[in-house]
Structure 1
Amino acid sequence: MAYFKREGEHVFHPTRHVSGAWNTDEQHIAPSIGLLTHVVECDRDRRRDDGLVIARLSFDILGTLPVDRVETSVQVVRPGRTIELVEATLVHDDRPAVRMRAWLMREGDTAALAGSPFPPIPAPEEMPVWDPTSVWAGGFIATAEVRRIASEPGRATYWVRTPHDLVEGEPISEVARAATLFDIANGMAVRARPEDVAFPNVDLTAHLFARPRGDWIGFDTTVSFGPTGLGLTSSVIHDRHGPVGTVDQMLTVRP
């Protein structure tokens, strides 16, 4: 079963696999992040055929979402031949719940310059299987296959994949597939038990310098709590070929 079923050109209905970790009556935001990425790429492909790729994804989470139908919209904020800025919104019952901005950029041949000082992480086969439902409830977490090495509270490297489609019957790009898993980072390297401290994220920003490939997405994650109720989950994102970008999530920390 997929995370969403399409009910119209801009209307989607979530399945039980989107239920959240903090509250199982609400949607986990991770599938919605993947959904908005997918609809932005679908809109791009309707408008142009020159293959601009997503380089940055920035999401503001405006509120919680019940497990109920949602609508999406996309508009071009800054058009351009080689670079454009696009905004997409996810709405429930006429209330915006997630707003996304994405920079799309034209690719070029920089293979001779490619490289990154981000250190590699062990392959999925070199990490032990870890059951995330030992920490978190919810349908989305239950769909995730995780292999993880945790070194201390707030510090872990891990790989995640899911066998579930994003939208029933629709092919999606590898970028959208990866984006569906980005928001899981805040729950894979916790500094405190979620029964004791709430630390939901209010946003998520991903920068990609290479397109992620394959079904496994790797994370090298650190979680920091400040002294005044703020926190940050910061991850370097990997595929099997090496690092491909970063993901950051701003947290509200509530003991």
Structure 2
Amino acid sequence: MTTPNAFFVPAGVSGDGHERVTATENTISLWAPTMQHGAPPSALLVRALARVDARGDTRISRVAVDILGPIPVADIEIRAWTERPGGNVELVVAELWAESSSGSARAVARGSAWRMRTTPTESVAHTGDPVMPPVSSGVDNTFGGLWASGYLDAVEFKFLTELGAAGPGEVWAKPKPVLVLGESMTPLERLFSIADIANGVGAKLPIDRWTFLNTDLTVHVFRVPRGEWIGVSAETSTGPDGIAMCAGTLSDELGPVGRIAQTVLVRPRA
């Protein structure tokens, strides 16, 4: 069967009226064929966070995603609500639910977002991070071996640095599939369909000797991205006790749009 050109396909609604989608092979992580890469479900959470009690005069400014366990390549239920309403600032929350191996449903990922009321500030706009080299200077890359996965195959890459090189890793990337079949991606959905690769882009550990799975991601977005390409500049700092942190900058072709941080669990391979 041909894989749909999407990370998820609509699967109706649950008995409680919650939207359901089915994850496709395009979501598969490099760590296991049964679990999703963190990027597609992060984008799915952002989709829900933007839609719940939507207001045209606000936008998402910060998203915190917690991965509560392996997110299966299976049917996913989406739940979202407004946690804290407000005129200028509001907090919205979304969860992704799936069946466990025992057949019981549980939350596998949770996202929260601050949505802020917008107002014109073009006259004082400022960017504090350096601009990445252009997409045209990147080198095409396809993954294989231990780096092979459905998700990585579903993304087009232009590498500015080699994986594991000294200093921040830098890459331009864009998803080939849409997020949900039959829909066009919003700019923030596109951003989050890529953002979670920061951990891999910034990694310094050889993947044949170590695993490094991020348990979360926090992204601050000071400008809504434009265009198809998302730039990631990131580097991971590893502590002496199996815990690491990846931090980086997210960009579009006009310049930086936000920053990302991830907590990383580091373990030697058996």
User: What TM-score, normalized to structure 1?
Assistant: 0.94
Select the structure that is richer in strand: 2
Residue 77 of structure 1 is matched in structure 2 by: 83
How do 1:1-255 residues align onto structure 2 when only pairs under 5 Å count? 1-9=5-13, 10-45=19-54, 48=55, 50-93=56-99, 94-133=105-144, 136-150=147-161, 152-153=165-166, 155-255=168-268
Q: How much has 1:214 moved relative to structure 2?
A: 0.9
Amino acid at match of 2:133: P
Q: Matched residue of 2:95: which SS?
A: strand
Question: 1: distance between equivalents of 2:30 and 2:263?
Answer: 17
Give the letter aligned to residue 212 of structure 1: P
Aligned residue pair count: 252
- Whether the aligned pair in 2 keeps the contact of 1:24 and 1:137 (CA below 8 Å) is no
Confirm or deny: 8 A CA contact 1:53 1:104 kept in the other structure: yes
* Percent pairwise identity: 32
Q: Kindly state the Cα deviation for residue 153 of structure 1 after the two structures are TM-superposed.
A: 4.6
SS at match of 1:71: strand
SS in 2 for 1:238: strand
Identify the structure with the greater helix proportion: 1
CA distance in 1, matches of 2:142, 2:166: 17
> Does the C-alpha gap of structure 1 residues 133 and 81 become closer, same or farther in structure 2, counting only changes over 3 Å?
farther
**Contiguous gaps of at least 5 residues in structure 2:** 14-18, 100-104
Q: CA 1:154–1:21 in structure 2 vs 1: closer, same or farther (change >3 Å)?
A: farther
Q: Is the 8 A contact 2:137 2:160 kept in 1?
A: no
CA distance in 1, matches of 2:146, 2:194: 17
Q: Shift of residue 172 of structure 1?
A: 3.0
CA deviation profile, 1:26-67 (whole Å, cap 9, x unmatched):
11121000011112222233xx3x331010010111100221
Q: Which runs of 4+ in 1 moved over 6 A?
A: none
CA contact (8 A) 2:49 2:112 kept: no
Q: Deviations over 1:172-199 (max 9, x none)?
A: 3101111111111111232112221111
Give the TM-score normalised by structure 2: 0.89
What is the alpha-carbon distance in structure 1 between the residues aligned to residue 187 and residue 221 of structure 2? 12
Change (3 A) 1:107 1:147: same
| Residues in 1 aligned to 2:144 and 2:155: alpha-carbon distance in whole angstroms | 9
State whether residues 185 and 221 of structure 1, in contact with CA within 8 Å, keep that contact through their aligned partners in structure 2: yes
**SS at 1:101 equivalent:** strand
Pair 1:62–1:100, CA change in 2 (3 A)? same
- Secondary structure of 1:21's counterpart equals coil
What whole-Å deviation, never above 9, does each CA across 1:90-142 have from its counterpart, x for those lacking one?
A: 11111111011100011111111111221111011012222234651210011
